[in-house]
Structure 1
Amino acid sequence: MKKEVQVHSLFSDFDISLFRAGKHYRLYEKFGAHILEVDGEKGVYFAVWAPSAKSVSVIGDFNYWLEGEHPLNVRWDESGIWEGFIPGVEKGAKYKYKIHSSIDDMKLEKADPYALKCEHPPNTASIVWDLEYKWKDKKHMSSRKDKNSLSSPYSIYEVHLGSWRKNMDENRSLTYVEMADELVSYVKEVGFTHVEFMPIMEYPYDPSWGYQLTGYFAPTSRFGDPQEFMYLTDAFHKAGIGVILDWVPSHFPEDKHGLGKFDGSNLYEHPDPRKGYHPDWKSLIFNYGRNEVRSFLISNAIFWLDKYHADGLRVDAVASMLYLDYSREDGEWEPNEHGGRENLDAISFVRDLNTEVYKSFDGVQTIAEESTSFPMVSRPVDLGGLGFGMKWMMGWMHDTLEYFKKDSIYRQYHQNDITFSMTYTFTENFVLPLSHDEVVYGKKSLLGRMPGDDWQRFANLRLLYSYMFTHPGAKLLFMGAEIGQYEEWNYNTSLDWHLLDYEPHQGIKKVLTDLNKLYKTRPALHEKQFTADGFEWISYDDSQNSVLTYIRKGEDPKKSLVVVCNFTPTVLKDYSVGVPHSGKLKEIFNSDNEKYGGSGIKNKSIKTKKESFHGRDNSAEITIPPLGCVVFEIL
């Protein structure tokens, strides 16, 4: 016997027109399951988009999962939206949509694309929930425009929540609430300005690390409920730390309960497999040319910034979206209308996304993980760019790691590898990433890549981080890098926290803590990190000694810093360096400091000489420690 489903709608005619035009960016306020009171009765309003359906029923634990007990009503306006109010359904109820398709008479059971909470995988039902929460981050939200600006320090700690630290007594990952204590205090201690979570949206398959999403509007139930994730974000904000979320609009999995063939048709994915199927990841690609799909995706991005107070979105796999021939052979892709390889629909979508994000929120950033030379990724849309705030500098990452893995005796022949990034570093607003992708699949950990004996390996790692933090651009380090992890990352196990019982690993953590402090407190390292007038070479051609010397500059030229890097284990004494002006050189950072595990070779105050060197009127003679980076201020 069919139960009463009351005719009710949250959609106005204007909502429908925006949705169909691809311009409705708050669809989470309309679609999904909403706890309401209608005509004095409490219950839940359901709405789902399924234009190829003959009928849609809500099935759940409140009706014994029986089809037809609660049929939804299709709207008269040909929008393809099915909706209705079901009295008596309460928060916590489990449900799905039973869709009877007009295509091949298929019957499908689908999770709600707009569900606010999902069952803990491997279970797949959606859960009626709300987003009621009393935020306590007013101070952070009101000041984050300054904290997140391109002229502010931006040091990111990338985290996989399931494997950062385990509760060893119970052999489980920490909960959101536990992380609000342990993770927040740790990130603050080491001094990162931001934390970036690998995808926390619900995903069915642990080995995907979260990059194959099925619950786009639900934080994963693995670690707690939505309010507990809000509590974690709130805790970071109260500690003055920004929260960036990895976001995946590039592809989605084929799981039966997910978005694929949602109503029997290619509703969310592109119907042409040349544009709708990803051969590398064996997943489906969104149809960026379909207006309703664009509304879904942009609404999802806005949702996490709006309801969860995220400070930024790192957009995954942007290159795969931009190019029709991405990971495809000749004959496996079709050129665009101009005969090119660019995906014009995806480019248009990305521009709309960034335009809406920056229009709607002060003090947020979108960051592109984009690995090609596509132009103007982090330039404004109105200037012809894609509109991202920043872009990962994949070339720097590749060249730098290739250079560092070489034995120091051979580095003199590869000086260009370590200097080449400066030929293009100001073409975009770059983030220097040493991410999770660099410590998996046989690539070794960062420490494991370093050559030489144990002392040299740790010295090389300290030098790598020092070079990174004094190079222009924002910074990103994957968890474990700060303790000198020996092993590659394993999503199933905790980081090797016991390593901090040993001094060399303590030294890595200390050097990163001090580098974060240096980056945050010295304006020369962040005020002009994305502009060419914030950097100046002193010398990049001393390949024989494998030495680089350069100046970092902020708004005040008197507060410029001189950076010297020695990429060999040879101590260089009485090394002449041209300096920008006369005065005394004071060493303010030295990666060879004994407290980091270094040899303790350092410089006392050095008075400059009125002797020309490196094309400058003033110079100084310094000592450069082995495999060391030294930073000076001139007083």
Structure 2
Amino acid sequence: MIAVSPTDFEIYLFHEGSLYKSYELFGAHVIKQDGMVGTRFCVWAPHAREVRLVGSFNEWNGTNFHLIKVSDQGVWTIFIPENLEGHLYKYEIITKDGNVLLKSDPYAFYSELRPHTASIVYNMKGYRWKDQAWKRKKQRKRIYENPLFIYELHFGSWKKKADGSFYTYQEMADELIPYVLEHGFTHIELLPLVEHPLDRSWGYQGTGYYSATSRYGTPHDLMHFIDRCHQAGIGVILDWVPGHFCKDAHGLYMFDGAPTYEYANIQDRENYIWGTANFDLGRPEVRSFLISNALFWMEYFHVDGFRVDAVANMLYWPNSDVPYKNTYAVEFFQKLNETVFAYDPNILMIAEDSTDWPRVTAPTYDGGLGFNYKWNMGWMNDILTYMETPPEQRKYVHHKVTFSLLYAYSENFILPFSHDEVVHGKKSLLNKMPGSYEEKFAQLRLLYGYLLAHPGKKLLFMGGEFAQFDEWKDLEQLDWMLFDFDMHHNMNHYMKQLLKCYKRYSPLYELDHSPEGFEWIDVHNAEQSVFSFIRRGKKENDLLVIVCNFTNKTYHNYKVGVPLFTTYREILNSDAAEFGGWGNVNTKRVAAINEPFHGKPYHVRMTIPPFGISILRPVKKRGERKKNEEEKMHRHVIGRRAR
């Protein structure tokens, strides 16, 4: 229960850096105590000479609304004996120099629609969640051994109404959820939804870390959206930016006339590339603010994970000619991850880190940063460089494909084709592919197939699933009219089948983070740019044979070494006519020949499609299939008896 006055213990923990639910102390809270209803406001302004409360309830005149300083380190509070829910407000801060600043509440739960900037008194309680089944399922799941294919999207430009306006959180539930289910993605990842003044910052330059942006509705509307996702079996990950914030006058920057949330040293504070200010990660009150913010989104919005933005920018001090480790950031990440995993052991904490910092996904007790996933930026850069190389020259950059397997198990990786790769003149994934119109599509199908087959979890930015030709246009919706064109429609069909294949066959995900899950068959065929390898599941002989051809040549009777003396069935071929390909597929089963090849005891002869990927699965013998069916029936009967 929130008291009329902050407790000494709350204030102590906040200044110590360990008040991890500081949103219960700070901000505006309507409270009932001893039969009295009122609204308590609390703010941290350590350098202020005076703080007043102004808003729609006092005609923006703070003369008689002075906050009381209850901490020598700058905690101020005021209690108004009336329910101010729905009212606008700001803090009028008198600096040491006598300047007057009008600031939004750093802990506001709701904010005015841009371009207005006032905070709004809002009651976060009252929404009745219906995602209990999802939460139970999540507790049982072993995330490392299950499929994880994330659909990344920007809420404001995925789809827009005919008049160009945004869909609301509630309306988007009806539009987006069926689409995600139809394709088979396991999670969605939303670009930042914190309140931000400029649409084109995509939420990465925030002012209201506790305010779900009012562009699309109220906080309860966002709860409804996430609840609907969970009820449909879709996880929700938020892009989260604890490294830096925007410098608009009403926000966190120089909050009380001096560096408060940001570093005092200008070289550490200023993020010149983005025009933002870096959070002072060494300041205890800032740690309380940021770690509490993660718990806030988990508690009130039931989010399933965070993609932590710009980790590299935090691990190293900015504006330095040489990389210089920021120990404050290391301590912050470790404490952040320890805290969120204590709250929810199944949370996804994903580091967007482009450096070779070691042990990002190792536990903190073992010296790691404590994340459980890291974006594999190296793999992404290498494979896109390889794909943009003309096919006849790919033999000279063969290592761009092979290098990732040298470090694939050093961290728990997610393989990302994110928004960063299809904006600012980088071209769409389809348009990165060289060659003719048909060859572009063939190579993109191959690229997606290789993404599927490579160890690691997966992420794809919106529009990639139907091969958007233009790069992302953040002020417009996706080019949905492309579904009227056969090649884009076929690509979308291919993606759906790819995801079905991914979720159906356990070797594609069970041992993503273990060397036992991958084995090269032929890694040296640079001349033909053909790669073959095995993906294995946990069960003995549960495996897939994968062959990728990165040139436009078709090979018939191509020899590939295989581990089992059986027949193999092609379960996926990116060159199938139904996907827009030329139809070079293996329609019949291919039988293993009792002759060693590629260092394997047997081999098969098969058709290798141009710019294509072929996935083969060993066919179980009839007796083995019958035994498996009998075992399954026996387990079913025993299970029924037990119930």
Indicate whether 1:627 and 2:611 are aligned: yes
Indicate whether 1:175 and 2:168 are aligned: yes
Indicate whether 1:138 and 2:132 are aligned: yes
SS at match of 1:541: coil
Q: Give the match for residue 3 of structure 1.
A: none
Indicate whether 1:85 and 2:68 are aligned: no
Q: Give the match for residue 266 of structure 1.
A: 259
SS at match of 1:558: coil
Q: Distance in 1 between matches of 2:231 and 2:407?
A: 37
Q: Give the match for residue 294 of structure 1.
A: 287
User: Per-residue deviation at 1:85?
Assistant: 1.4
Indicate whether 1:50 and 2:34 are aligned: no
Counterpart AA for 2:241: V
SS at match of 1:181: helix
Counterpart AA for 2:59: Y
User: Per-residue deviation at 1:224?
Assistant: 0.5
Q: Give the match for residue 335 of structure 1.
A: none
Counterpart AA for 2:535: R
Q: Distance in 2 between matches of 1:20 and 1:520?
A: 47
Indicate whether 1:532 and 2:515 are aligned: yes
Contact persistence 2:247–2:253 (CA under 8 A): yes
Counterpart AA for 1:137: D
Contact persistence 1:63–1:69 (CA under 8 A): no
User: Per-residue deviation at 1:10?
Assistant: 4.8
Q: 1:417 aligns with which of 400, 407, 428?
A: 400
- Following superposition of structure 1 onto structure 2, how do residues 609-620 of structure 1 map, counting pairs within 5 Å? 609-620=593-604
Q: Distance in 2 between matches of 1:443 and 1:497?
A: 21
Q: Distance in 2 between matches of 1:581 and 1:148?
A: 29
SS at match of 1:557: coil
Contact persistence 1:438–1:445 (CA under 8 A): yes
Contact persistence 1:196–1:245 (CA under 8 A): yes
Q: Give the match for residue 153 of structure 1.
A: 147
Number of equivalenced pairs: 616
Q: Distance in 2 between matches of 1:490 and 1:327?
A: 31
Contact persistence 1:588–1:631 (CA under 8 A): yes
User: Per-residue deviation at 1:599?
Assistant: 1.3
Q: Give the match for residue 356 of structure 1.
A: 339
Q: Distance in 2 between matches of 1:8 and 1:567?
A: 66
CA offset digits 1:139-164 (Å, max 9, x no partner): 00111134461111110000100000
SS at match of 1:150: helix
- Following superposition of structure 1 onto structure 2, how do residues 196-595 of structure 1 map, counting pairs within 5 Å? 196-324=189-317, 326=318, 328-329=320-321, 341-595=324-578
User: Per-residue deviation at 1:327?
Assistant: 5.1
Contact persistence 2:564–2:602 (CA under 8 A): yes
Indicate whether 1:607 and 2:602 are aligned: no
Query: Structure 1-normalised TM-score?
Result: 0.95
Contact persistence 2:270–2:278 (CA under 8 A): yes
Contact persistence 1:602–1:625 (CA under 8 A): yes
Change (3 A) 1:508 1:96: same
Q: Give the match for residue 92 of structure 2.
A: 98
CA offset digits 1:463-502 (Å, max 9, x no partner): 0000001100011100010111111111100000000111
Q: Distance in 1 between matches of 2:105 and 2:232?
A: 35
Q: Give the match for residue 638 of structure 2.
A: none
SS at match of 1:196: strand
Counterpart AA for 1:477: L
Q: Give the match for residue 628 of structure 2.
A: none
- Share of identical aligned residues, percent? 45
Q: Distance in 2 between matches of 1:173 and 1:580?
A: 54
Larger mean Cα displacement after TM superposition, 12-21 or 283-292: 12-21
Q: Distance in 1 between matches of 2:566 and 2:408?
A: 30
Larger mean Cα displacement after TM superposition, 358-367 or 236-245: 358-367
Q: Distance in 1 between matches of 2:144 and 2:510?
A: 8
Q: Give the match for residue 336 of structure 1.
A: none
Q: Distance in 1 between matches of 2:568 and 2:94?
A: 76
Counterpart AA for 2:147: P
Q: Give the match for residue 15 of structure 1.
A: 10
Q: Distance in 2 between matches of 1:520 and 1:306?
A: 30
Q: Give the match for residue 22 of structure 2.
A: 27
Q: Distance in 2 between matches of 1:310 and 1:293?
A: 22
Q: Distance in 1 between matches of 2:63 and 2:321?
A: 47
CA offset digits 1:443-463 (Å, max 9, x no partner): 111111111111100000100
CA offset digits 1:179-219 (Å, max 9, x no partner): 11111111111110000000001000111111000000011
Contact persistence 2:29–2:121 (CA under 8 A): yes
Q: Distance in 1 between matches of 2:153 and 2:538?
A: 33
Contact persistence 2:267–2:319 (CA under 8 A): no
User: Per-residue deviation at 1:614?
Assistant: 0.7
SS at match of 1:108: strand
Q: Distance in 2 between matches of 1:467 and 1:318?
A: 27
Q: Distance in 2 between matches of 1:61 and 1:148?
A: 50
SS at match of 1:173: coil
Counterpart AA for 1:150: Y
Q: Give the match for residue 623 of structure 2.
A: none
Q: Distance in 2 between matches of 1:13 and 1:60?
A: 28
Larger mean Cα displacement after TM superposition, 49-58 or 391-400: 49-58
SS at match of 2:105: coil
Counterpart AA for 1:605: R
Q: Distance in 1 between matches of 2:34 and 2:27?
A: 20
Q: 2:59 aligns with which of 56, 60, 64?
A: 64
Q: Give the match for residue 4 of structure 1.
A: none
User: Per-residue deviation at 1:12?
Assistant: 2.3
Q: Distance in 2 between matches of 1:57 and 1:424?
A: 56
Counterpart AA for 2:383: T
SS at match of 1:53: coil
User: Per-residue deviation at 1:503?
Assistant: 1.2
Counterpart AA for 1:634: P
User: Per-residue deviation at 1:507?
Assistant: 1.4
Change (3 A) 1:8 1:232: closer
Query: Structure 2-normalised TM-score?
Result: 0.94
Contact persistence 2:38–2:84 (CA under 8 A): yes
Q: Give the match for residue 333 of structure 1.
A: none
Contact persistence 2:3–2:31 (CA under 8 A): no
Q: Distance in 2 between matches of 1:355 and 1:276?
A: 26
Contact persistence 2:414–2:457 (CA under 8 A): yes
RMSD: 1.3
User: Per-residue deviation at 1:417?
Assistant: 1.0
Q: Distance in 2 between matches of 1:380 and 1:8?
A: 37
Contact persistence 1:219–1:225 (CA under 8 A): yes
